[in-house]
Structure 1
Amino acid sequence: MSIITRALGALGLERRSGVAGGDSYWSGFAGLRSSPVNEETAQGVSAVYACVQAISETTASLPLILFKRSGEDRERASNHPLYAVLHDMANPEQTALEAREYLQACVLLRGNAYARIVRGLDGQVRELWPLSPDRVTVLRAAGKLAYDYTDGNNVLHRLLAHEVLHLRHRLGDDGVLGVSPIAAARGVVELAIAESEHGVSTFRNGAKLLGVLKFPGMLKPDQRQAIKESWGSQYAGAGNAGRTAILEGGVDFQSVSMSLEDSEWVASRQFSVEEVARLFRVPPTVIGDLNHGTYSNSVEMARQFVTMTLRRHLVAWEQAIAKQLLTEESRRTYFAEHQVEGLLRGDSVNRADFYAKGIAAGWMLPSEARRLENLPTIKGIDNAAPSAI
């Protein structure tokens, strides 16, 4: 226990790392690499980057609308200050898409995302400023959470719970911090990085098999070093690939290494893509893995991406907004909701069939169908005879 931790304990404070598990989380693993696997090194794996971008870009680009309840119906609360923060501009420097994309990526890579809440004199949220999770430490004091944030000038700011929007991935055992997929399944990402580095190293050496030079007699240490350096300068590296080696004096070259095919490196790389996609619950076709994709199942997997992958993240945003950005009284009237209809619409034939059946059954009006298709309003279309539509 550090001096700082003991001091905080004496004051009734409990200090928690900005990332679930902290540095000690990684120290318990005997891994393949000497360097840590973190959000930066993990994004070097294309499958990880693609999964994070697929979820964060889609989540941020979906319209996030603040609605006002009106009896059994609802209407857009476009006059509410929070509407513009969620839909247009998060703060004077960042659009809503940019801020939400960054926060969602932090949730996936670090398990937690934080944004400082700026309220007006009326108590309504006017701005959201994303904070780097690496600069945030979560504290618990007298049963309540607080957030210590260190800005770019190394000035420490103490923020109370109502001043921070905190988004979490799956909640950890402490009930405070979320656990990212990378932290939960570090070995999957670690293996993918090791495979990538193996391929890079192989191609740097000209994609040639390693081996040994066999001499008929004993070599002196200085001779051995000179031959090693000479051989490496002439035949190692991608620039020397394909050059013909010249052996003399009874020297023989014997290969002792496996090729990428012998070690099933290519198959392992493909399996790592599937493993990473499974880790983030993203259908492989969404991140460009079409090995098992067809036209029909790709369309279905795109829908599963919305219903099975995005749903948890979208609900997390909506509930966090209700909890942190709306007062108890406002929650009775206002609520935020993502508009996902555009992702689930399907092709034009299926949409036309859907609208036709809805209009024929009487639960949809022609004007509503046109509005869903972003078509201009036609006056009196709802009163026209079915044959005239």
Structure 2
Amino acid sequence: MFGFGKRESGSNQPTVISRISEAFGWWGGSSSIAPALSNTTAMQNPAVMCAVRTIAEGVASMPINIIETKEVDGLSKRTIRKDHWASKLINKPNAYQTRFEFVEMMISNAVLGKGALALKTVVGGEVRELLPIPSGIWEMEILTNGSYNFRVRFTDGSSRVFAAKDCLFFRGLSLDGYSSISAIETARKAVGIANALEGQTLQTASNGGRPSGVLSIGDPEDGVALDEDTRAKIIALWKDRFSSNGEGGILISSGYSTDFKPIQQNAVDSQLIESRKYQVEEIARIFRVHPAYLMASGTITPEIQRAHVRNTLMPWVARFEQALAASLLQAEPNLLFDFDEHELLRGDHSALKDFFASVTGVGGSPAIMSVNECRYELGLDPIADEWARTPLKGGYENSAIQKEESSK
């Protein structure tokens, strides 16, 4: 597994001038309200977990094809190459992960931290495996000649350097051209505040919650205040019945007159609720995910879904596609990786009917897709007849098949 990517020997080799680490534990200092975060601790926050899953699972849900482009009669035509080794590799990247799991892990690491890294196993000039490296155990070494290596630290304490050419690496938004801005470092304060608010809520719940009212108990004998022993017994009984693990029910204080006055929700309680909502929205902003996907507000409409695919998922898709092509298909520039986002954009049956009617020329509009291309989008087998293979000239209304159907 690790028999590649060694440094070349020699005294004239470039030296390391900077290191960019994926171990987050010491970055940015720490405080009680904004402790240092790692990928694991950041994902313990439900909003962060939901945002990362929304992006990673969305990208991983897209089918991935190898597309070959050729010039035919002056036109650029695209063909899906299912027989290419890179297609087989991306659909089974290693012995222990499916395509979905591999893409999900890579996107998750890239979204959270400084980038996503996988090592390549090359046999006979072909990449046979892609082995993802978890965040927190690698660092990028920038060299004096402007290139970079990756140092991976293993569980036994040893480390090894891998050349960039032996790795698949991609990053998010970058200010230095080498590594991306860490989302969890940027979100450290927002996540810290959200965690503090959750801790406050948990503490309140574990103590039986804020008192729902004030119980006044009078002594029927002489009207004086209760003695300490009696007060302690009533408090113990109240806690036993109405704490977080109490059985509830009706409390009867025998021998004493009682008066219960309920306490209404105050401004502090309302502010806590609003603050928790705001922190979820703040985390949504950092990951560029609509709050509806974090179950914070509103419902996911078709417009929000299209904006989510276009603005949230597609930038990560483009980064991953280009990194895969640059790392795996350098010798074949006419090939590219294509994540098919159409699966995520499908509307209801009525919307699909209107769409396919318009692109095949129904209603007099120019036909831009053939029937077989529409069937492919629906996951159906093609029709062998010639009329189904190319867009109908003049639209459906002027086609021979429509005239034949009209004459029946």
Taking structure 2 as the reference length, what is the TM-score of the superposition? Answer: 0.76
Matched residue of 2:360: which SS? helix
CA pair 349-15 structure 1, distance change in 2 beyond 3 A: same
Higher helix share: 1
C-alpha displacement of 1:376: 2.7
Distance across 2 between alignment mates of 1:157 and 1:347: 52
Distance across 1 between alignment mates of 2:16 and 2:354: 63
CA pair 78-281 structure 1, distance change in 2 beyond 3 A: same
Residue 401 of structure 2: aligned partner: 385
- Quote the sequence identity (%): 24
Residue 321 of structure 1: aligned partner: 324
Residue 352 of structure 1: aligned partner: 353
Unaligned runs of 5+ in 1: 1-9, 247-254
Retained in 2: the 8 A contact 1:12–1:142? yes
C-alpha displacement of 1:189: 1.3
Residue 113 of structure 1: aligned partner: 116
Retained in 1: the 8 A contact 2:325–2:336? yes
Aligned pair partner of 2:204 in 186, 202, 205: 202
Distance across 1 between alignment mates of 2:238 and 2:316: 52
**In the TM superposition, what are the counterparts of 1:14-53 in structure 2 within 5 Å?**
14-19=18-23, 22-27=24-29, 30=31, 32-33=33-34, 35-53=35-53
Matched residue of 2:309: which SS? helix
Distance across 2 between alignment mates of 1:114 and 1:77: 26
Residue 190 of structure 2: aligned partner: 188
CA pair 388-284 structure 1, distance change in 2 beyond 3 A: farther
Aligned pair partner of 1:284 in 288, 291, 311: 291
Report the count of equivalent residues. Answer: 359
Distance across 2 between alignment mates of 1:150 and 1:211: 57
Residue 252 of structure 1: aligned partner: none
CA pair 273-156 structure 1, distance change in 2 beyond 3 A: same
Residue 272 of structure 1: aligned partner: 279
Retained in 1: the 8 A contact 2:36–2:188? no
Residue 96 of structure 2: aligned partner: 93
C-alpha displacement of 1:288: 2.9
Retained in 2: the 8 A contact 1:37–1:190? no
CA pair 53-193 structure 1, distance change in 2 beyond 3 A: same
Retained in 1: the 8 A contact 2:242–2:248? no
Matched residue of 1:292: which SS? coil
Residue 251 of structure 1: aligned partner: none
1:355-383 deviations in Å (ceiling 9; x for gaps): 11222112222222222212233332626
Retained in 2: the 8 A contact 1:206–1:241? no
Residue 4 of structure 1: aligned partner: none
Residue 127 of structure 1: aligned partner: 129
Aligned AA (1:377): P
CA pair 274-16 structure 1, distance change in 2 beyond 3 A: closer
Distance across 2 between alignment mates of 1:25 and 1:352: 53
Retained in 2: the 8 A contact 1:135–1:150? yes
**In the TM superposition, what are the counterparts of 1:366-385 in structure 2 within 5 Å?**
366-380=371-385, 382=387, 385=401
Distance across 1 between alignment mates of 2:247 and 2:403: 73
Retained in 2: the 8 A contact 1:42–1:48? yes
Unaligned runs of 5+ in 2: 1-13, 215-224, 254-261, 389-399
Distance across 2 between alignment mates of 1:388 and 1:381: 15
Distance across 2 between alignment mates of 1:378 and 1:257: 69
CA pair 190-210 structure 1, distance change in 2 beyond 3 A: farther
Matched residue of 1:306: which SS? helix
Matched residue of 1:312: which SS? helix
C-alpha displacement of 1:339: 0.7
Matched residue of 1:357: which SS? helix
Residue 362 of structure 1: aligned partner: 367
CA pair 231-191 structure 1, distance change in 2 beyond 3 A: farther
Retained in 2: the 8 A contact 1:115–1:128? yes
CA pair 260-116 structure 1, distance change in 2 beyond 3 A: farther
